[in-house]
Structure 1
């Protein structure tokens, strides 16, 4: 389980995450959504221990990520948007290297690596250089490194970006399977993907949580609700009289369609499917109709309603989770870039020593 308590992150005079609190329960797939600049990437980078919060705390499977970072990180598998692969290593060499970095006991490394290769269906390419793999296979290797050490929680940042349709389908199926064994947090800009894969959706805007529920409950609770679309060749007065009597004048709009037919939209707030009652009302009112259809609020409708941006400034999440638009964030980017370069050198030196 992950518990985020009053999380706040400032970059200079810009607040990227504003008193954010939520819980991620075990054994579910959570979708994490937010527009550019909402603080989504910053939150994920704090959750994985890459950034420190200004205020608040994050408890990862019982461990505070700041007080006990090593213990907390051992329970997390992280797949960033760009998988951290080494193209000149074979798949097996790379995953063994990851197992060593994660301090998997030496006697367990081989079995751990072979298990994740089998789970990700990449055993057949274990001796191939990563640079020679397809985009889909590289993404699977990225998933494999996240799974090494059998973490309780997986955090996936845009896991299908850049993949072709067939590869996207394969990765979505993989995430569903992983969700049966792990708690999964999935960040994605593809709303249909989140709706299809995730049990629960979290939406943040301006650094604050605006929704946390199942896609179905979000659809019921938002203003869009369920809409009934009636297409009719009748005159507007006849159509309006029937539908206003049924739903109330304030809940019915009538427009002329491209084909000259009238299209009436009923904003229906109650539970259930009212089409049978509407058809009976139209028949009793001697009002002809061509179709009566239901349109439920999509996750896209809900997302747009909950993330209306206030103000004129558009801050965009950068790769390190900071928000563009402030001098302090630029300094932060440069410092992180330098630190990341030193880390890379250290890793390469370790590889040479081991060789």
Structure 2
């Protein structure tokens, strides 16, 4: 049985449609990256799955429990780490985890076992007696992750878990997520696309309330097997315009798309999207047309390029 089942989920705020009939399933053991620009609907989706927001229509279940009809049962099956980690900074770590355990209905012995387990999983055993306000942001995030795991949830929902962390802290949190993901299902929402690429098994991209991509990470990134070539042209013997160059470049064999990018030192600059490396053709074209070549570089497209292409025109 799927851990998460979403069917034709819709949510409106007045006349604004935040979700426009999305559907997906998440199987046990998957680590799924939920991506989308601001306002795309991913936060609304997570709020519905956690029982904090009712859908306008459609259905969503977590471990077989309907989020609208049985939200209490849903909350026993999931752990949630919001973007602002819910920690009481005046408490020490143990007191905080004890408090959360009581709120979730764990008895004294259950709390002790749960705290021991999550302390090991999240690497916080050495800081259990420290006040939370004395901890670095990275360690506070580990404590927030530990509280989400206290009730041994089958589903873990993480909203921007690496937001505001330095590169070393990001690597540490990534390791923890991969480790806990071995025994449970994880939904991860983040703006750091490189993190999704190395952490998640599957990616769902939402744009303007609809799912525009849903596949395993390898298949999604395989969509970016093309190249982006950056071309810079100085003024040569023949006077020309940006519009004229856009037309000429777009007509060359192997060129899929040409975008004008900001000039440097009065040189025309373009971003050229191609399936193959056509730099030799571009060099020959520039020489034949009498243009001065000041830049010619290439790179393979990555997840960020794919994300931008799928959500082109979205707000940020």
TM-score relative to the length of structure 2: 0.78
Cα distance between partner residues in 2 of 1:66 and 1:105 = 28
Cα distance between partner residues in 2 of 1:151 and 1:266 = 44
Q: Check 1:10–1:249 CA distance in 2 against 1; reply closer, same or farther (3 A cut).
A: closer
Deviation for aligned residue 1:127:
1.4
Cα distance between partner residues in 1 of 2:112 and 2:11 = 40
Q: Give the paired residue count.
A: 287
Question: Are 2:228 and 2:301, in contact at CA under 8 Å, matched by a contact in 1?
Answer: no
Q: Which residue of 2 aligns with 1:267?
A: 274
Cα distance between partner residues in 2 of 1:36 and 1:26 = 28
Structure 2 residue runs without a partner (length 5+): 232-251, 281-295
Cα distance between partner residues in 1 of 2:140 and 2:104 = 20
Q: Check 1:110–1:248 CA distance in 2 against 1; reply closer, same or farther (3 A cut).
A: same
Question: Are 1:205 and 1:309, in contact at CA under 8 Å, matched by a contact in 2?
Answer: no
TM-score relative to the length of structure 1: 0.70
Q: Which residue of 2 aligns with 1:63?
A: 65
Question: Are 1:206 and 1:309, in contact at CA under 8 Å, matched by a contact in 2?
Answer: no
Q: Check 1:4–1:264 CA distance in 2 against 1; reply closer, same or farther (3 A cut).
A: closer
Deviation for aligned residue 1:295:
3.8
Q: Which residue of 2 aligns with 1:353?
A: none
Deviation for aligned residue 1:116:
0.5
Structure 1 residue runs without a partner (length 5+): 232-246, 269-273, 280-291, 317-355
Q: Check 1:197–1:267 CA distance in 2 against 1; reply closer, same or farther (3 A cut).
A: same
Q: Which residue of 1 aligns with 2:237?
A: none
Question: Are 2:121 and 2:180, in contact at CA under 8 Å, matched by a contact in 1?
Answer: no
Question: Are 2:35 and 2:190, in contact at CA under 8 Å, matched by a contact in 1?
Answer: yes
Q: Which residue of 2 aligns with 1:100?
A: 102
Structure 2 counterparts to residues 287-326 of structure 1, below 5 A: 295-309=299-313
Structure 2 counterpart SS, 1:202: strand
Would you identify which runs of 4 or more consecutive aligned residues in structure 1 move more than 4 Å? 228-231, 247-253, 263-266
Task: Specify which structure has the higher proportion of helix.
Answer: 1
Task: Specify which structure has the higher proportion of strand.
Answer: 2
Q: Which residue of 2 aligns with 1:179?
A: 181
Residue of structure 2 aligned with 1:205, choices 204, 207, 221 = 207
Deviation for aligned residue 1:209:
0.7
Q: Which residue of 1 aligns with 2:227?
A: 227
Question: Are 1:78 and 1:156, in contact at CA under 8 Å, matched by a contact in 2?
Answer: yes
Structure 2 counterpart SS, 1:201: strand
Superposition CA RMSD, Å = 3.6
